Amino acid sequence: MNEDNDFEPREPKGNDEDRKDNDDERQQFQFPNNNNNFRNIALIVGAIILSLILFQTLFNSPTSETEITYSQFLEQVEQDRIVEVTIKGGLIQGTYTGGGSFVTRGPTDATSYLQDLKKQGVNVTFKEASEGNWFFSLLISLLPVLLIIGLWVFMMRRMQGNNALNFGKSQANLVNKEFSDVTFDDFAGVEEVKEEVEEVVEYLRNPERFKKLGAEVPKGMILVGPPGTGKTLLSRAIAGEADVPFYQTSGSNFVEMFVGVGASRVRNMFKQAKENAPSIIFIDELDAIGRKRGAGLGGGHDEREQTLNELLSEMDGFEANEGVIILAATNRPDVLDPALLRPGRFDRKITVPAPDIKGREEILQVHAKNKKLADDVDLSVLARRTPGFVGADLENLANEAALLAGRRGKEVVEMTDFEESIDRVLAGVKRKGMAITEEEKEKIAYHEGGHAIIGKLLPNADPVHKISIIPRSQGALGFTLQLPLEEKFLVSKSELLDKMTTLLGGRTAEELIYNEVTTGAQDDFKKATDIAKRMVMQYGMSEEIGPINLGRENGNVFLGEEIVKSNEHSEEVSSLVDREMRRIVEGCHDKAREILNNNKEILEELKDRLLEQEELEGDELDELLDQAALPANR
C-alpha cells in the first residue's frame, strides 16, 4: 500500500496479439524522446557550421591566389607585370602576365592607382563589395537567430513533454477501468474509509436511485492522512471500480516557469472532465497548489495563487459544475487554503489514519497473498509487534521478509524472517563488521540491560520483547524493543512517567557501574525531555502550573507571515515551566537509580549473557528478567 508511488496507467488486459496491435498503434504516434531532440538539434547546428565553412572557402579563400602587400602591387604595376585586376571595394584581385594570381588590399578609393593601371594597359573590372557573397553574409547574420530558435524548441519539448506549443494543456492522465487492476479488495485496514468512497462510486454507477430521494453527491472529497496510509492506493481502487472517466494528475503538474500556465491547465482539465461527465478528477499532493493565499511575497500575482484561484472558481464558481467529482489527497491539510475546505468545494474530508492491530493484520493478509509462507507464520502476532506501522511499512516488511528468505535459500518465508525484517525496518541492517572494542560492547550491554530491567519491573511500561547489542545501520549501537499488549488511544500520567523512567534506565546503569557517563543516551534524553515538556505545557499534568495549555502549534513558517511571536509567556511562567520539567525528569532519574541499585546482580548477569550471545529474546529473556524485583518500599 505504497501511497507515494507515481501512478502509471496499466495496459489493458487481452491476448498477446491485441497488445501487439496496441503497441504498434502507439508507436506510430509516439514523439521522439529528449535524446532524439538533442541529436537532431546538434545535427542542424553542425550542418549550419559546415555550410558556413564551405561558403567561406568558395567565395573568400581562393586557393591559387598569393597574398601580397599594397606596395608590392604598385611595384608590379610599374614593371608592367599585371594583365588584369578585379576591384571590390578595398580588395584587389589580379593576374600576372606570366600566369598566376594575387590578392591584396588597398584604399577604398581606387583613383590613386587607377591612372597607373590604365597607363600600363591593365584590364580593370569593378564589382560591388557584397557581390558573390550575399548568401554567406545572410547565413552569418541569421546564425545567432537559428541557434536561439533551436535551443528554445529543445527546451520547450523537454518541459512540455515533446509538445512545445501546448503550454496550457492539462497534464492529467485519463485512466479507464480496463487500465487499472486495483480494486477495493486491495485496500484493507480502514473499512469506514472504504465505505465512504464506495458511496461515491455507487452514485456514479446508479445516480437515479439517489436523485429520487433528493440526494446530491459530494462535489469534492479530500483524503487526509500520514504518508504511507494508502491515500493514492485508494484513488487507484476508485479508478478500477468506477465506470466513468478518471483523470489523474498531481499538484506539481500545474506549476511551471511561465505565468498563467497553471490556471490554463486547470481550465483545460475541467473542460475535458465536463465534456465526458460524469467523471472524476484526482489531484495528488494537493498542497503543492492549495497552500494558503497571502502567505507569499508575490501577493495576488503569484503563479501558485493564480492557479489556486482558478481551481476554486472551477470547483464552485459562477458556472455550474455538474457531473464532475473532485478527489484530492494530501498529508498536509494544515497548510491548505480555507476556501478549498468549505462546503461546496471539498464537502467531505476523509481521514485515512494509521491502521489499528486488526487493520494491520488485514493489510498483512493482502501483501502475503502472493508469498509462500511457512506454517509457523502468525500474522496476528506480527500485527501486534508492529504498532505505528502504516500500509507502506507493512508492505515493505513483507517484501523484506521474502528477500531475506530468498537470500538464505529457503523455499518458504518463515516467522524468523518476518521478525528480523521488523528489526531492519525499525533499527536498520545489522553491522556486524563494525569495529567496536570490548570495553564499548560492555558499556552498551549495561546500557541496554538498564532499559530492559526497568521496562520489565514498572507496571505501566510496555513489555520487553528483545534486547540487542549489535550495531545497526541507522546509527543505533544497540536497542531494547518494547511492544504494547494492546492498542492505546489515551495515555495516563503514570504511563508517561514509567516510559520516561525506562528511557533514563540506560544512562543510570552507566552511572551505577562506571561512575561516569557517555554520549550513548543522547536520543533517550531527547525523548524524555519532550515527554516532560508536553506534560507541563500541553497535557496539564503539572501540580505547580495546573490544567493550562501553554503550547502553540509550530506549523510551517511561510514568507510574509509573522515568524516570531514574542512575549507569549512571562519570564516567571517560562522559569516555572523549566523548573517543573527538571523536577519531573530528575524524579524519574532517581526512581531508575533506586530500581537498578536493587537489581545490580541481575544487571551483571544480563550483561554477561548479552556479551556472549549479542541478542536475547523469548523465554530466555523472560527467565532472566523474572528474577528482578522492585525495591521493598515501592
Q: Are 240 and 341 in the same domain? A: yes
Report, as an integer, the average pLDDT of 166-195.
68
Residue 77 covered by a domain: yes
Residue 18 covered by a domain: no
Query: What's 74's domain CATH number?
Result: 3.30.720.210
Give the model's confidence band at 41: pLDDT under 50 very low, under 70 low, under 90 confident, else very high.
low
Q: Is the pLDDT of residue 567 over 60?
A: no
Query: What's 399's domain CATH number?
Result: 1.10.8.60
pLDDT of residue 128: 67
Q: What are phi and psi of 524, to 5 degrees?
A: -60, -45
Q: Are 69 and 199 in the same domain? A: no
Query: What's 237's domain CATH number?
Result: 3.40.50.300
Residue 20 covered by a domain: no
Domain boundary among the residues 373, 407, 427 is at 427
Active site residue 448: yes
Q: Are 138 and 204 in the same domain? A: no
Residue 82 covered by a domain: yes
Which DSSP string do the residues of 248-274 spell out, in sequence order?
A: EEEGGGG--SSTTHHHHHHHHHHHHHH
Q: Are 315 and 200 in the same domain? A: yes
pLDDT of residue 129: 58
Q: Are 514 and 497 in the same domain? A: yes
Q: 3-class secondary structure for 372-400?
A: CECCCCCHHHHHHCCCCCCHHHHHHHHHH
Q: Are 86 and 177 in the same domain? A: no
pLDDT of residue 450: 92
Mind listing the pLDDT tens digit for each residue in 425-470?
777 777 776 778 888 889 999 999 999 999 999 988 888 888 888 8
Residue 131 vs residue 434, higher pLDDT: 434
Q: Are 375 and 463 in the same domain? A: no
Q: Could you tell me the residue range of the domain that residue 236 belongs to?
A: 166-351
Q: Is the pLDDT of residue 629 over 90?
A: no
Distance (Å, rounded) from C-alpha 208 to C-alpha 325? Answer: 16
**Cβ atoms within 10 Å of 7's Cβ, excluding its own:** 19
Q: What is the pTM of this model?
A: 0.65
Residue 281 covered by a domain: yes
pLDDT of residue 213: 83
Q: Is the pLDDT of residue 519 over 70?
A: yes
Q: Are 174 and 238 in the same domain? A: yes
Q: Are 578 and 503 in the same domain? A: yes
Residue 7 covered by a domain: no
Q: Is the pLDDT of residue 413 over 50?
A: yes
Query: What's 537's domain CATH number?
Result: 1.20.58.760
Q: Are 512 and 604 in the same domain? A: yes
pLDDT of residue 423: 81
Q: What is the CA radius of gyration of the chain?
A: 39
Give the model's confidence band at 157: pLDDT under 50 very low, under 70 low, under 90 confident, else very high.
low
Distance (Å, rounded) from C-alpha 468 to C-alpha 524? Answer: 16
pLDDT of residue 533: 93
Q: Are 117 and 266 in the same domain? A: no
Mind listing the pLDDT tens digit for each residue in 316-352?
766 666 778 888 999 888 888 888 888 888 888 888 8
Domain boundary among the residues 296, 328, 351 is at 351
Residue 68 covered by a domain: yes
- Lowest-confidence pick of 96-105, 385-394, 603-612: 96-105
Q: Which of 256, 285, 310, 448 is catalytic?
A: 448
Domain boundary among the residues 402, 427, 452 is at 427
Q: Are 210 and 292 in the same domain? A: yes
Q: Is the pLDDT of residue 79 over 60?
A: yes
Residue 242 covered by a domain: yes
Give the count of domains, the chain: 4
Q: Which three cell numbers stand for residue 40?
A: 537532431
